[in-house]
Amino acid sequence: MSTESKRPLRQVPCPHCGTLTPFTPENRWRPFCSERCRSMDLGAWANESYRVPTRPAEDDETPDTPPEPERH
């Protein structure tokens, strides 16, 4: 008898829909509950729907174009 059979089944919420799903090697879509949720999440990343908020660094505040020369 292995110790794995005595462990309680670990369930986690699907990152896409929230359905509790087993987090085991037998769940081929883990941590997702299904291929559909996995594909929808991948599509959201591919469409850049998920973004990590950032602040521009202080050094990045230089203008993209050089300043106009002063005319006298």
User: Residue 24 contacts by C-beta under 8 Å, 6 or more apart in sequence?
Assistant: 9, 10, 30
Give the chain's domains with CATH numbers.
8-49 (3.30.50.10)
The whole-model pTM stands at: 0.58
> Contact at 8 Å (CB) between 61 and 51?
no
Reported as a single tens digit per residue, the pLDDT across 2-56 is 555 667 789 999 999 999 999 999 999 999 999 999 999 999 988 888 888 888 8
Could you tell me how far CA 62 lies from the centroid of its own chain?
31
